Structure 1
């Protein structure tokens, strides 16, 4: 058995106690001078020289890393002679002779060993000084010093002495030790477990704090008076980590500052150092190892591990050739064991406990049941068996605990029966638990090497493939590493620790508030039940106090608003409350201020949530790690829920808070719960919107209406103008607009029956709508002209607070009632006939519409009666009244009926053109009737309104207005007459009335099949007996003028003349050709006329058959083309020949006819 050839020295198991082991001659047996020890000793040799001013040190390292052993080594250095015969001297000389020379130059410090406890450091220091002085020779100075130390201890325990007073006693002890026959050269305070002192000092209930340790470091450093005093403290973590918590930022910073007074030596043993300790701890039978071939096999294995990158070649002092000393540890198992005990145990202490423990699957159990052969190695899966036998994992790392639980579950439930598969699962599972490990990747090659010593071991690779196929192992796509879960592995705990370390504790909630759900508006329920209007107060959290004055003075854009101001622990709550009370006095009505305390516990939770959110943002590996990503998301969700619950009253004040104070309009409010807040909001809204009409219809009475309600609103507005005199506005059945009509217009009395006729009426005094109606009337009376948007804005503000849809219905009813006095304009243009499109645009863009009230009393009634008489006589329509809106509508009805030609022609009288241009601008109706038209028609000589003092020639106004209306209405008839006159001139007829009959008679002699479209249409339309004279003229005007007669311009007549001349000339030629040939058209008698004009302007022509095939052989045609091609200008020859063969045209068209 391996046990027969291997044993482990028990010296490495027991933990070191410096005070106990200082006088043990064998305490340093087997002590190994590692790189960390050499580095620490070299620094201390430099710092402890008499001339050094830095004699305060701290050695920091994790549990079991060898700190106390080094402290024992250091104490022995000064309590025993430094030479090659002493244990310390031999160790230093064998490893680093140069350090021995440096150590010999150090003063001979007297070492006072102190083991820290959770108690007052000043009292503990006084006690050890008292004990040390008591061991000295009795003398008056000694007795006095002992008495002073006892007095301090007693007074300190009763709280009557400051901790720093012990430093004065330390100075006296130093002076005492420097005197006498056996004077010391220095005093070294060696404090093991110094962190216990710091834990006690960090407690806020104690009166010892960081300043004591700062003074202690300064006492040990600085100028040397008698003998140097040094202190070396041994700790497990940093100074600030012993303080009362992460939230205590100031305390943490203070402790970190004090820690800088102590020179730091980090004590962390490397893997190589641990491997050397293991090799030194194991005693083997060299002969037995040699017979079994252990040395060569171990060298080969560890060499392979070095090639794979799992180990360094400098693992052992003698190189890889000494790897046999590490038998039976497989290199992968050794690396995993060291990582395991460093992460979950106490480093070397746990390592050597494992070496000697009689536990199942530990080293002693393994060597007791395995034979000594070169192929027997303690492997990773054996280490996993030992871990499984332990049962639980001793760690607070939640991520490692989850990995460990997953490994146990997979091994317990996996359908695996082959030994190789089980070994692979255990190997991958343990490596997953320990990752990341430097130099080790969990690939199939590494697993094969760990299980079977060969990276290409076929049976192992086949087992891995089967496990992957069974979905018991997964391959990470990015690295091809194996794992027990289908994603990459992220050490969430370590990543979170890194984030926490890099994150400064929050003093404000800041942007973290944005991660919380958006606040919901607060509804004033009682106000809604009594008025029918759903009013809300929006909640806004104000993080910065500097923003409060600006936000408080900003006008309200909603019914109400609640500004919640947080007060943090470092702020003065009373001062802020006083300031907010003063600001609320100048705030608009409806804006409430709330001051809410933020506690340290709130910020603790915010810190934690901030750290998890940052981890989720920054950790790139989470994208491919579903397991870790879900864990992070669950933590974020859990912390967010907790923070929302804790800070709910910041975003939802309905829950109330005993830590909040409230103000409105300078008065403090007692609001302890949501019910009281709702009552206060209702009272505020009742007062703020006291003149709002009651509208109990949720379809229309809301800030934002639904699509269906918006459509119903538009249809209702359309019917208000088109069906005013019909009961229920003619709405049948029960569409949405019927419900709006009943609740808003009918129940309010705005639309009612009076004198047997349905119509809109002004609301009666005392009605809910009376104040709003009167306000609208007053606005128009005062301003005369006002934008519809301004009206809506006015009604939306206090004291009305009307929703836009309700205000639009009020405007519609007002326009119906005041139709004789109020007109509607769009973009400055008077709307003569309100159409559905206008209503749609009014709803969508009310800022483009204006309401204009016309004051009839300012105009002369006689002038308005002239307009009424003339318009009634010349423009058909209903009976007119002598009011500006009615007269303007009738005048614009006439204007809009005029064709485009009439509006654009220059052939009208200049006054008529000026009047039409004025109407085209659709300006102010009052100004139009009283100034614009009289001035344009020449009735007035200068622009001045017609009023009671004006002297106006009413007869002249009547005649000029009648002439304008006649000229505009008759303009197309005049144009038709001009067209007939032009036609008579072009066809040579004296009487315009005879033009059509002349054209018809001429066209009858033309060939039936005419190809030219214009000529063909001209002939057809002229001969169409269904068209009367006007229709015939309009038809030819459109054909030859290129546009309909209504859209003609003045120059269109010239185009008409030119086109008529071309068409008529073509007609005469066709008629002449028919007369010349004497043949009617037909397939066998088609001829073509070729016209030639000589220099004298005489036109001649040649007629030939249209189809000349067979009259001339093709060869002759080719010869003729060739002959013509010899001339410089062949066309000249053809033209001369055509002139010789042509004949003169027949006589004039009249002769031809």
Structure 2
């Protein structure tokens, strides 16, 4: 059977006492009426009875029993006979006598028992007052009285005091007096300080209530003096608050070590029979160097503390009073704790009836659960030294009893003085399982040789060895003194917590958060820098550590809704902790102390723990400040809302035009890989399947949820459509209407140059819309499609310039996600004369392409641009379109180039083309269209005209046709050794087909270049080259005669000219020429002869031979 079956903690000690709910007759039996409690009540009774003092404060540590004493007072003055009788039984005769002589008692006192909390003192006092009226048996029966005060409106200090005075006079016939108990009065003072109020209420309580005829006793329970609650508001206010507390009689409630033992003994209950005596307790008392009277008093108390070791019971009181225990642990929270190495776990895990929860157990409990707090307290250095000594012992091969011994020495060294305990050898024989002096001597010697402990002769006791030369606590204080009036520590606070606007997120689906920033005062922070340095935050909670006027903060927050400002209610605590944290940083960075820390293990451990404690405590203080401050936003003070609720109000105010998009997958700024893939698929479906239900998305993939949230539920898209339209930007939710209207206005503002889509994305990302990066591409594409033919699309080309594109494609939507800055759109709005010009162009384009053309810029521009781009390459590069008219030629060339270089249909048709036509002199639409029509006709026919000229030349050289030409070509193809001549002959054979492809092929053969590489110069060469190939062709044909075939021998003759060069060598020039009848030549011959008739024969011969040579050389 474990000890937990035999020992337990009394129910009354398992939780803190509540004065507003724990008062009953069952509360008082077993209550320990120790000396401090007795002195407190008797002091109050004497001062009330002898001096008329009616306002009291009871100041004591957390968990020391102040609320219990307050309830005891309430029980003694209660109207219920059973409660009063039970309370009277708990006090001694001296106190009863004093009670009878002091407060009057017949009907019982009206008891207003209030507990301070998050609400203000006025509210808590008045609620407690109404409960008191219902609780007292006499006042409860007076219905008129109850109804009167239930309907009273009490909202200010003055109203509360005035109403109380009236009430106390009204109840005087029914009660002996009024007892007001204010538990957790410190929280009420914190509330007043936080709200920037004053202590008029508590000043009036002390002054006004003492002047009325009805007896009144006010008792406030505090942890510290009034002035301590106003530290951060300056010494002047502290002095004022201290003066107000001077109107109260402050009773110090400081429970002694022995009284704590009495409380512990009373709280531990057992099912075992009471033993006659406890040998261990007697041994401990024998080892104490103290008065016999104290030992006799402790004997029975320590015996009743079993299974706590007597030394543990004696040390719990001093430990509970240390700074690291305050607000965290009381003696009774220790007794009830189930933490690691706790007393409760000891009871549950131990079966030995004789086992005790000794100092070794207590050390383990403190080390596991409170070391971080201890190291950051004034006891930190001593604890670190003791902990290092114990770790040093653990590394040795020491017995478990030896380890238990050093833990006992450590705790007695640290906390034994208030209990008058020193680690003498006689006391140590009772502290552990070691009961023999010889065994104790061995252990002590081992620990001493390991430099874990040292003997102090003047104390005749052992203490933990001082293993460190650095006084961290002293160094911290020194550095803090150096920081006096400096704000460096504050400026180095790194508080990176954020506030989520949860309500905004749940309503609109967009996650927004605000930064939390700390500053000394407004003059120490650059607001513009604060705003521009945001990284995703929509606002800043700016916590100031010095008071600023509320009017100034209101004005500042009205001017910029992204600022939420408050003054910290616990500024002094934050400043103090920040100074400590910065002081520790300075110690570490100091050349001397930093080096010493590196080599001092004890100091290093203390420093580490103290730094951790300072950081965590500072963070807790900042968190508390942010949660409890009175925040001002948009000129309004928020005193009830949580910080998240204020963030929601701010987000709703700033982003008042944000649409509702409840989709966590896409409504965010950073998308997952899955979300990006789904987004691409959705945008592609928006391009290709707008007339399909759900954009053709089957099943329920991620893109389907995006479609439903962003497009379907918002009515932006409909598969059915209206008048052929599937995308809508009007008559939607008013916030979506505003969103699209802003984008449309931006396009209209940029109608001359076009708007970069990143501009619209940034517009939507800012207030008042606040769209996320995930949603923007969807709404952007939907918006562009809803604009229909009113916009033109542009995309950056390889040169980085924007070029017109007919419509978005998959590459376009990918850029829409990754880099909308590479995309642009232009809003197209036409004046009346521009509309008329476009209509004329549409008619021209329809005639040009022989199909119906819609009357919009893109529909008109596309076929005309296509026509020009489909011209042969050489025509697109030609410089002589109209050879005989230079002005017209230049105009046609510029018109052609406009269409070739066009990247903006609006600029092309409405501006550039028309300006060019007007420049030529065509001033009206009819003449302009006529000129444009002639230009297109000229360009389109240029290639055919070129082919016609070359065809005429070919037919001049080869007048044959039909079978005769075919035979000539066949012969050349079969007998020529020149592959290109063979190809020439093969294409020439096709010349009778009526098509011109043979001529294009022939040109490519003779010049050796494809059509894409033709130009005017090359085509001129082609004409000469054809003559050359014709000579070779005819030469091969002539060879038929030499082979006996004379069919064609009479149609060509060989002309040869032999000349002597300057060097005496003979050069021959020859050419096959067509035979022409003499009659056809006679006229030309006569003309030449007449021109040469006056010349002598030498001149005639020289002229004729040069002309003949020139003609024969034309082959080259």
Normalised by the size of structure 1, how large is the TM-score? Answer: 0.43
